[in-house]
Structure 1
Amino acid sequence: MSNAKETVHQFLLQVRSGLHPERADRFMTDRVRAHQVVSEAPTVVERTPQQYTEHVQEMLDAYGAFALTVDELIAEGDRVYARWTQQGRHVGAVDGHPPTGAPVTAVTSAVYRVEDGLIVEYWIQIDRQGVTAQLRRPDATG
């Protein structure tokens, strides 16, 4: 595995997975440009490793100890494409939807740019409509 590919792979397995979100600073520079690729309202935010740790904790609060499976990882130069599936349960309020305990699956992909072994920028796409449809299920008992 290339250095960039291994950095992203370990970041996903250790940090994004929710297993060790406090390790974000081992994989990210002090400020990472995060491009939220949303068709109707693309945005770019800057995240520190601490803010990313808090972001993962919010996911844990919403979906419990979720499972994350890396489905695809492709590297070329300083760019790494990753696609993963996250499976958890709706245990906390999400976008105004009260917790139901129902299973929730999210399919996500991102392209990470890595410099000197650290993530400096990424472009992320999440199937937000699919997640929202699951949160709105009339029979959300799982």
Structure 2
Amino acid sequence: MAKPSTHETNKEIVSRWWSEYWGEPNPDIVDELAADDIRWYYPLAGEVQGREEVKKRIIGYKQRFPEGRFELTDELIAEGDRVVALWEGGGTHTGRSWELPLGSLPEASGEKAQYTGTTVFTVRDGQIIEEYGQADYFGVMQQLGLIEPQTD
């Protein structure tokens, strides 16, 4: 049987990461699939480095949005050591308070946010060394009531 290409292997790693980190949060997946010094960056959430800090991010998200979910919306795209994921997700803020650059949400505010984004992963030697994402953060801030919607 033919061995999968690096692209296919990298897509399998990212697919598993997505379903176990962002789907049904399992912080232990970080120890299995991430490099010790993984870099994780989303503009709204900031940048962290290292497995323990990356685990804290998904734990913190689930403490704020306990039923929140993120799902891939298209096939993963792989080129070289990069894998690109298109996604959508969000949830209702029913958990702990949340400090954001443009304001804050009190505990269990009930505010809802659904949004889309794109994440680029770098995978080397079977481990994710970087997760860099962009999303509709302006829309998120509007949905959470932290900025006024634009009207024309």
TM-score by length of 2: 0.76
Question: Percent identity at matched positions?
Answer: 25
Letter matched to residue 33 of structure 1: R
Matched, 1:89 2:96: no
Stretches of 4+ moved more than 4 A in 1? Answer: 35-38
Letter matched to residue 63 of structure 2: D
Contact 1:70 1:82 (C-alpha < 8 Å) held by counterparts: yes
Determine the structure 1 residue equivalent to 2:79: 76
- Structure 1 residues 107-130: Cα deviation after superposition (integer angstroms, max 9, x where no partner): 221111101111112321122111
1:20 is displaced (CA, Å) by: 0.9
Matched, 1:16 2:35: no
Q: Whole-Å Cα distance in 2 between the matches of residues 104 and 24 of structure 1?
A: 26
1:93 is displaced (CA, Å) by: 2.0
1:82 is displaced (CA, Å) by: 0.5
Determine the structure 1 residue equivalent to 2:69: 67
Larger Rg: 2
Letter matched to residue 71 of structure 2: T
Q: Whole-Å Cα distance in 2 between the matches of residues 22 and 31 of structure 1?
A: 15
Matched, 1:128 2:134: no
Q: Pick from 5, 8, 12: which aligns with 1:6?
A: 12
Structure 1: tracts of 5 or more residues without a match: 138-142
Letter matched to residue 56 of structure 2: E
Determine the structure 2 residue equivalent to 1:58: 60
* Closer/same/farther in 2, CA of residues 102 and 37 from structure 1, 3 Å limit: closer
Q: Whole-Å Cα distance in 1 between the matches of residues 117 and 55 of structure 2?
A: 18
1:46 is displaced (CA, Å) by: 4.5
Structure 2: tracts of 5 or more residues without a match: 1-6, 147-152
Letter matched to residue 17 of structure 2: F
Q: Whole-Å Cα distance in 2 between the matches of residues 19 and 33 of structure 1?
A: 18
Contact 1:21 1:57 (C-alpha < 8 Å) held by counterparts: yes
1:53 is displaced (CA, Å) by: 1.0
User: RMSD in angstroms over aligned alpha carbons?
Assistant: 2.3
Contact 2:39 2:50 (C-alpha < 8 Å) held by counterparts: no
Q: Whole-Å Cα distance in 2 between the matches of residues 5 and 26 of structure 1?
A: 15
TM-score by length of 1: 0.81
